[in-house]
Structure 1
Amino acid sequence: MTESMPAEPASAESISAASAPEKTAPTDTTLAPELADLPAEFARHLSLERNLSPHTVRAYRGDATSVLAHLQECGGDDITALTLRVLRSWLAGQHAAGAGRATLARRAASARALTAWAHATGRITEDPGPRLSAPTPRRQIPVVLRAQDAEAALGAAGAGASEADPVALRDHAVVEMLYATGVRVAELCALDLDDVDRDARLLTVMGKGGRQRVVPFGLPADRAIDAWLAKGRAHLRTSASAAALFLGVRGGRLNQRAVRRVVHEVLRAVPGVPDTGPHGLRHSAATHLLEGGADLRSVQELLGHATLSTTQFYTHVTVERLKAIHDRTHPRS
């Protein structure tokens, strides 16, 4: 962490204030009147103008409240006192309290978004955010199923799906669609009936930042969706179902927690298949596309990545898999 902390030292008082872990997270009500309204206004900006997801808005709002609480502890009575020194001491305190590299990177991004908004709206005359550095999170090679493992797990899920069990029909359609399309779990749960073009075998997906994309799916996923719609969905449908494609057992839209449970149960039921979640199926789909000869730009479009560099990470996955195969099979490895 030392090498990634900026060179300008924070005051001893502010570092001390930040270093002690807080017993409870600060809230808007603990802020001075001059600061108390800012987190909510910042959150509205993130939601309405930047169109960020509710989860991201909540995380950024919490970080903004923490920054402003630290500013208050350092003696600042309004946002004009939010300087680079204050931001650095706040981030140093987060590190001292045990935050990891990924968390620090996220919180630094939150702080930069806060100061950019404050500067753009005239609340501060200079934006200190661009000079706030944080450690780069280490990207771990994700768990990726072998193609034969995915085939075995999906085959077992399909074999267990019958007309007598609408939940099993739904679960089979869920895992087939996750693997066939590589969509995120939130994107899957948000799908409506009209988002599925059965004739063309295409999904219309609303991704991060409100970016819409069209994703193809294959025959196995189409057959699983057909079985769910024809023989399963009507048994779970209630007045709360509306147009949701996938339904929970009480008839409402299927939630992300239930999807994660479904994926874990399907994979654990097949001996020898690594246990992973919906994002593992997304990783697997991307890796198998690249191993099958798909180009990076096409995979980027399918996955809904904003930048090609995110998609390029999957090339490291395929290289690691090739190295493992080489080490295991080559006589002079």
Structure 2
Amino acid sequence: MNAGPTGTSTSAGVPTTGVADRALPAQIAAWLAHLRIERGLAENTLRGYARDLARYDAFLAARDVADVAAIRQGDVTEFVATLREGGDGRAALSASSTARTLAAVRGLHRFCLLEGTVGEDVAAEVSPPATPRRLPKAVTRDEVERLLTAAAATPGPIGLRDAALVETLYATGARISEVVGLVVDDLPDLSDPGIGQVGRVVRLTGKGDKQRLVPLGGYAARALADYLTAGRPALLAHRSATRGGRGSGHEVFLNTRGGALSRQSAWGVVAAAAERADLAGRIGPHTLRHSFATHLLDGGADVRVVQDLLGHADVTTTQIYTLVTAAHLRETYALAHPRAR
């Protein structure tokens, strides 16, 4: 650990209080290392856990708690209350942010129990605050069609790229990071006449570098084939002309300099298409993911299948989409049935 100018030191991104005999920062660092090495969690997730546990560590340090073995259930409960109400010079957190922070705290205590550092898990029975269940935003099929048409409106290589990008997002339900992370080898063979067959699959790399195979529909396959044939080579030529660019050069989606298209630029592609389709502010990449799931369930797809396609680890995450379709059914019934009211 490296000492800072005030005597404060850091361990795996977790600040300590400068007290030499405090074991808690090292215990937090050990859990974060376990998550990184053994479970392969994404760096963004690890940084979030480190921030949450830094606040936990500071809360406990102010109460002279130096070791995880000295923590009691009341300490965890009081910490959760402080998060919700604000305290220790920090603003109050929402119910969802508090639940996320508590998840990090509970993970730490569970790890210490399994490692034999403590004899009981004092955080196991501390419940997160109830969070309002927000339904994911989805748009209609007609609105998706308008977006897809608008994405393809730009002439030349950029229009071919934008059409392929938006078609792929909607066809696979992928996260924006998964689509911009695609390399050419992740795509199926798009050269033969049976291009519209659903048997083709694309390999997506999701959170924690977990890979899954998702079918690629005919419209997306054709848009990708057109882009790979006439659009991508033209963009890649700019990379050679400018002697390099961001990325390896094997990425599917490229920017105007021939480098890898960034996540922010891909967001801009969808936003620009939405504006041209008179849908500004209503559709983003994640809206397409929600619409993908909702439209599949509306069409009769099994929720477990949709779970696999989205890459959700827990089916309960996917089941929120069933609430959307149920709400749609109730609305349709109320409007259509002569004795509904």
Superposed pair shares fold, TM > 0.5: yes
Instruction: Identify if the C-alpha distance between structure 1 residues 71 and 191 changes in structure 2 by more than 3 Å, giving closer, same or farther.
Output: same
- Matched residue, 1:281: 288
Q: What CA RMSD, in Å, does the superposition of the two structures yield over aligned residues?
A: 2.3
Unaligned runs of 5+ in 1: 1-25
- Matched residue, 2:97: 103
Work out the CA distance in 2 between the residues paired with 1:212 and 1:157: 28
CA contact (8 A) 2:158 2:231 kept: yes
- Matched residue, 2:325: 318
- Matched residue, 1:48: 37
String of CA shifts for 1:37-64, please: whole Å, max 9, x gaps.
4444332211111222222111111111
- Matched residue, 1:70: 59
CA contact (8 A) 1:31 1:69 kept: no
- Matched residue, 2:158: 167
Work out the CA distance in 1 between the residues paired with 2:280 and 2:332: 17
- Matched residue, 2:265: 258
TM-score normalised over the length of structure 2: 0.82
Alpha-carbon offset, residue 281 of structure 1:
0.5
- Matched residue, 2:193: none
- Matched residue, 2:247: 241
Query: Which residue, 156, 179, 183 being the options, matches 1:188?
Result: 179
TM-score normalised over the length of structure 1: 0.83
Instruction: Identify if the C-alpha distance between structure 1 residues 245 and 185 changes in structure 2 by more than 3 Å, giving closer, same or farther.
Output: same
CA contact (8 A) 1:286 1:314 kept: yes
Work out the CA distance in 2 between the residues paired with 1:32 and 1:249: 53
String of CA shifts for 1:58-86, please: whole Å, max 9, x gaps.
11111111111111011112332222222
Instruction: Identify if the C-alpha distance between structure 1 residues 69 and 273 changes in structure 2 by more than 3 Å, giving closer, same or farther.
Output: closer
Which segments of structure 1 move beyond 6 Å, counting only runs of 4 or more?
Answer: none
- Report sequence identity in percent: 36
Instruction: Identify if the C-alpha distance between structure 1 residues 129 and 29 changes in structure 2 by more than 3 Å, giving closer, same or farther.
Output: closer
SS of equivalent residue, structure 1 residue 47: helix
Instruction: Identify if the C-alpha distance between structure 1 residues 44 and 318 changes in structure 2 by more than 3 Å, giving closer, same or farther.
Output: same
Q: Is 1:32 equivalent to 2:19 in the alignment?
A: yes
SS of equivalent residue, structure 2 residue 124: helix
Alpha-carbon offset, residue 329 of structure 1:
4.3
SS of equivalent residue, structure 1 residue 130: coil
Instruction: Identify if the C-alpha distance between structure 1 residues 246 and 272 changes in structure 2 by more than 3 Å, giving closer, same or farther.
Output: closer
Bigger CA drift: 34-43 or 69-78?
34-43
String of CA shifts for 1:192-219, please: whole Å, max 9, x gaps.
1111113453111122344321101112
State the aligned residue count.
Answer: 305
Instruction: Identify if the C-alpha distance between structure 1 residues 121 and 254 changes in structure 2 by more than 3 Å, giving closer, same or farther.
Output: farther
- Matched residue, 1:59: 48
- Matched residue, 1:176: 167
Instruction: Identify if the C-alpha distance between structure 1 residues 31 and 299 changes in structure 2 by more than 3 Å, giving closer, same or farther.
Output: farther
Work out the CA distance in 1 between the residues paired with 2:166 and 2:294: 17
String of CA shifts for 1:63-114, please: whole Å, max 9, x gaps.
1111111110111123322222221111111101221111111111010111
